[in-house]
C-alpha cells in the first residue's frame, strides 16, 4: 500500500499522546518535487478520521471497527482493509521470508567469494544504514500553533523533518485505534527482509515523538534519485464534522482488497 508524506504524518499522530477532545478539519498545502502544490484535507473526530489527498487518493478510518477504506477518485473505486487483513498480510510476508526459496538464496549467498559477500553487505548496509530519530531543538509556529522540530532518517532511503505540536485539541477516542493501525503498518514493514531491523528500530525510537505534525518534509531516494515532498498545515478549523464525510462518494465501485491477494494497492 502506498502512503504519501501526509499519510505518514497521520501515522505519526497515532504514536503521539492524547489531548482534549474536539472535532477538527485540518487543511494542508502539499508539494511534490516540481509539481504544482495541492491541498490535503484531514477530518478528525472521536470515531472517524478521513484524509483527502491529491490525485484522488483518500483514506477513511472507522475507529469503532478498525476498518480502513482506501478510495481512488481517479478510478472511482474503493476497497476496505480490516485488522484481519493486516494480520494475514504480515503472516504471508513472514512466510515468504522463511520460504525454502529464500533459504536457498541465503545459502547461495554464503557460497559467494568472501570479497563479493563483503561488497553486497556493504551496499545493503549503506542503503538501510542506521536509524536516526532526534529532536533538533528548534521551535516555530505554524497556523497559530507552536511546534518542535524532529528528524527521522532511515539510512539512505529516507529522511523526514517534522514539526510536532501538542497544542491541537485532538479527539481522545481516536488514539487507541489509530495507534493500533500505525503499529500494524510498522509491524508489517518490519517483516520485509533486510529492512526489518531498520523499521523495528525506527518504531521503537519514534515512541518519544509527541504531537501532531504541522509540517513534514520527506526526502526519499530510490535508485539514486531523490524525491522531496513537503506538507504544511495552513488552517485548523474547530467544529462538528458532518456524517457525510465518512461516506464513499456515490457512484464508486467497491473492489476486492488487493492486500488479500498479495498485490499492490493504490
Burial 164-185 (b: 16+ CB within 10 A, else e): bbbebebbeebbebbbebbbbb
DSSP 1: -
Mean pLDDT of the 241-260 span? 91
Report the range out of 4-8, 56-60, 170-174 with the highest average pLDDT. 56-60
Q: Is pLDDT above 80 for 190?
A: no
Task: Work out the mean pLDDT of the chain and round it to a whole number.
Answer: 77
Mean pLDDT of the 31-50 span? 89
pLDDT digits (tens, 9 = 90+) for 165-184: 989 877 655 544 555 555 55
Residue-level pLDDT at 20: 44
The string of DSSP codes covering 233-244 is: EEEEEESPPPGG
Residue-level pLDDT at 17: 40
Residue-level pLDDT at 87: 75
Among 62-71, 124-133, 141-150, the least confident range: 124-133
CB 5 within 8 A of CB 54: no
Mean pLDDT of the 20-30 span? 84
Give CA torsion, residues 226, 206, 47, 89, to 10 deg. Answer: 70
Domain ranges for the chain, please list them.
5-261
Residue-level pLDDT at 250: 93
Separation CA 26–CA 49 (nearest Å): 11
Residue-level pLDDT at 78: 96
Which phi and psi angles does 82 have, rounded to 5°? -100, 170
Q: Which of 44, 59, 48 is nearest to 3 (CA)?
A: 59
Could you tell me which residue, 118 or 173, shows the higher pLDDT?
118
Residue-level pLDDT at 245: 93
Residue-level pLDDT at 15: 37
User: Which CATH superfamily is 5-261 part of?
Assistant: Lipoprotein localisation LolA/LolB/LppX (2.50.20.10)
Residue-level pLDDT at 184: 58
Amino acid at each position: 500500500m502506498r502512503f504519501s508524506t501526509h499519510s505518514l504524518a497521520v501515522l505519526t499522530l497515532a504514536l503521539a499522546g492524547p489531548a482534549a477532545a474536539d472535532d477538527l478539519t485540518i487543511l494542508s498545502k502539499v508539494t511534490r518535487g516540481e509539481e504544482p502544490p495541492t491541498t490535503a484535507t484531514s477530518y478528525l473526530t472521536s470515531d472517524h478520521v478521513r484524509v483527502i489527498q491529491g490525485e484522488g487518493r483518500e483514506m477513511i478510518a472507522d475507529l469503532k471497527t478498525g476498518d480502513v477504506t482506501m478510495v481512488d477518485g481517479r478510478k472511482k473505486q474503493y476497497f476496505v482493509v480490516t485488522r484481519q487483513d493486516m494480520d494475514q498480510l504480515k503472516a504471508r510476508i513472514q512466510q515468504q521470508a522463511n520460504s525454502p526459496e529464500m533459504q536457498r538464496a541465503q545459502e547461495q549467498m554464503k557460497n559467494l567469494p568472501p570479497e563479493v559477500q563483503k561488497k553486497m553487505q556493504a551496499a545493503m548496509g549503506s542503503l538501510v544504514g542506521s536509524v536516526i530519530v532526534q529532536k533538533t531543538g528548534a521551535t516555530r509556529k505554524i497556523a497559530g500553533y507552536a511546534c518542535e522540530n524532529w528528524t527521522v532518517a532511515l539510512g539512505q532511503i529516507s529522511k523526514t523533518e517534522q514539526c510536532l505540536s501538542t497544542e491541537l485539541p485532538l479527539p481522545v477516542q481516536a488514539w487507541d485505534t489509530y495507534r493500533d493501525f500505525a503499529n500494524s503498518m510498522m509491524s508489517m514493514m518490519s517483516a520485509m527482509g533486510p529492512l526489518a531491523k531498520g523499521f523495528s528500530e525506527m518504531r521503537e525510537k519514534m515512541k518519544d515523538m509527541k504531537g501532531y505534525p504541522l509540517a513534514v518534509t520527506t526526502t526519499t531516494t530510490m535508485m539514486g534519485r531523490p524525491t522531496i515532498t513537503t506538507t504544511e498545515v495552513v488552517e485548523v478549523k474547530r467544529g462538528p464534522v458532518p456524517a457525510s464525510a465518512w461516506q464513499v462518494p456515490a457512484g464508486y465501485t467497491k473492489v476486492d482488497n488487493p492486500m488479500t491477494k498479495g498485490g499492490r494497492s493504490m
